[in-house]
Amino acid sequence: MDNKPTANKWLIATVIVMGLVIIGLVTWIIVGALNKDKGTDSSVKTIETKKDSSRLSDKTREEDTKPSDESKKKYKDFRTGRDGTDTKLTSVSDVDKLDIDDSLKKFLKSKVGQPIPEREGYTYEPVIDRAYGKYAAVYGLANAYTIIGPKNGTGEIGIVAGTQQSYIPCSDLKAALVPSCLVDGKCEVSGTPQTYEQD
C-alpha cells in the first residue's frame, strides 16, 4: 500500500519533468526559428547594401570619366591673345580636341575642310572664339562673326546669328536664346547698340 503513493508520486514527477523538457524543446525550436529568420533578413540586407554601394561606386566612376553636362555648359574662351591663332580648326581632329558640347562638334566637323561654295579653291577653316553650352561664337563660316547653336533655342544646330560690322541684331539673338556672354552683352536694333541679357 505504501509503494502505490510513492509510485504515483514518481509518475507525477516524471510527467512534470517530461512536460518541462517538451516545453523547453518547443521554446528552443521557436526561438531558433525566429533567430534564423532574423539572420536571413540581415544577410539579405547585407547583400542589398553591398549591391547598392557597388552601384553607387560604378555611378561615381562613370561620372568621373564622363564630363558632366554642367562642366560642358561652362563658358569657354578659346581666344589666345585675342587673335585666335591657336583655335583655327583645319581638321576634324582639331574639333575633337575642343572641350565643347558634342552637338557643336558634330556641326563643326561637317564644315571643317569642306569647300566654300562662293570661293573656289578655298575650304572652311573656322576660328572658334568662345563657347557656352550648345552655343559657340565662330569666325570664318559665313559672316565675320557668327553664332552657331540650336535654331529657335531648341532645334537643330546651325548658324543662328551673325554680323559683318559692329553688333549682331538683337532679334536674331533673342530668337535663338543665345547666351549674352558670347556677344559681351551687346546687340543692335536698327544700327543702335543695345544691352543684351540672356543666360
Do residues 50 and 2 share a domain?
yes
25 and 74 inside one domain: no
Question: For the purposes of burial, counting CB atoms within 10 Å of the CB of 102, is it exposed (0-12), middle (13-18) or buried (19 or more)?
Answer: exposed
- pLDDT for 145 equals 86
* 92 and 10 inside one domain: no
92 and 186 housed in the same domain: yes
Q: Which of 16, 41, 66 is the last residue of a domain?
A: 66
Residue 71: the pLDDT is 46
> Global pTM?
0.61
The β-bridge relationship of strands 157-163 and 186-189 is: unpaired
Give me the domain span that covers residue 9.
Answer: 1-66
Q: Where is the domain boundary, 66, 94, 114?
A: 66
Last residue within a domain, chosen from 24, 44, 66: 66
Residue type, 52: D
Q: Does one domain contain both 73 and 62?
A: no
Count other Cβ atoms within 10 Å, centred on residue 170. 20
pLDDT for the residue 42 = 54
- Count how many domains the chain has: 2
Pair 33, 110 in one domain: no
Same domain, 16 and 79: no
Residues 147 and 122 in one domain: yes
Encode 83-95: b = buried (16+ Cβ within 10 Å), e = exposed: ebeebebeeeebb
Q: Report the sign of the C-alpha dihedral through residues 94, 103, 126, 166, in that order.
A: negative
Residue (of 86, 94, 103) closest to 148 by Cα position? 103
Q: Mean pLDDT, consecutive 10-residue segments, the chain of 199 residues? A: 69 86 87 70 54 53 46 76 69 92 94 88 89 92 86 88 84 93 91 89
